[in-house]
Amino acid sequence: MTDTELYDLAMLTEPFLESRPSAKCLLPTLTLRQRFPKPNLLFHSAGDNMENLSFFEFIKCEKYYLDFCRRQQDSDLDNLAAIIYRPARKKYRPEDGDIRQPFNENVVAARAAAFAKLPRGAKLAVLLQYTAWRENLVLQFPLVFAPPTDEERGRPNYGWLAVLLNLAGDKFGDDEQTARKNIYIILAHLQIQLANKPTQDNER
């Protein structure tokens, strides 16, 4: 399947998921207020259902989301927001798609430090938004997010970065090209792979 077909498949399955948490973006922008006469800074989200999130952005979001769930430190929320929310592109046109500047891992720390000044309510809103979207992913791609089996628990787990490296190649391009792919394309591909994977009983 082509990238476009994979993305369309992911979007077609989404409306059939009943009783799912809302993943509509209720916080499309974050405003960082500055002292006059400096203008306030505006940062844009990844859109409804995080539709503009890349695979690598997802990997980084997961790291800080899970870190926050484990240790409850606001710095993890600052980093989560700094990955999702970015300034608008210069000379942006709606037909360009994602309004945000391209993801640059090297500026996340500086943006997170600036986001530390945001009200905690705004940070928690980002957290709730990401949590709802993540729950939708679990419903939409159940095989990808299935709990590990007893056998899998006994193996080394290198996480999403290992998945990225394994996917890089003829289909998605090199590591960097694979990292830039839309997260829905990647998850739809993995879901199809797992659905077509023969069970141990079938292999006997």
pLDDT per residue rounded down to tens, the chain (204 residues): 455 554 554 454 454 444 555 667 889 999 998 877 778 899 999 998 899 999 999 999 999 999 999 999 999 999 999 999 999 999 888 888 899 999 999 999 999 999 999 999 999 999 999 999 999 999 999 999 998 777 777 777 778 999 999 999 989 999 999 999 999 999 999 999 999 987 544 544
Structural domains of the chain, count: 1
- List beta partners, residue 17: none
The answer to whether residue 57 sits within a structural domain is: yes
Determine the Cα–Cα distance for residues 168 and 189; give it in Å rounded to an integer.
Answer: 13
Q: Quick check: is 199 in a domain?
A: no
> Containing domain of residue 55, as a range?
3-194
201 is a domain residue: no
Does residue 30 lie in a domain region?
yes
The pLDDT assigned to 152 comes to: 73
Pick left, alpha or beta for residue 49 (phi over 0 → left; psi -120 to 50 → alpha; otherwise beta): left
Q: How far is CA 69 from the centre of its chain?
A: 16
Q: Is the pTM of this model over 0.85?
A: no
Q: Residue 35: helix, strand or coil by DSSP?
A: coil
pLDDT attached to residue 36: 75
Are the C-beta atoms of residues 25 and 47 closer than 8 Å to each other? Answer: yes
**Number of neighbouring beta carbons within 10 Å of residue 28:** 14
In a domain, 202, yes or no: no
- What 3 state SS string does the chain have? CCHHHHHHHHHHHHHHCCCCCCCCCCCCEEEECCCCCCCCEEEECCCHHHCCCEHHHHHHHHHHHHHHHHHCCHHHHHHHHHHHCECECCCCCHHHCCCECCCCHHHHHHHHHHHCCCCHHHHHHHHHHHHHHHHHHHHHCCCCCCCCCHHHHCCCCCHHHHHHHHHCECCCECHHHHHCCEHHHHHHHHHHHHHCCCCHHHHC
Q: Does 126 reside within a domain?
A: yes
Instruction: Give the β-pairing of 41-44 and 29-32.
Output: antiparallel
Is 35 part of any domain? yes
Question: 10 φ, ψ to 5°?
Answer: -65, -40
39 found inside a domain: yes
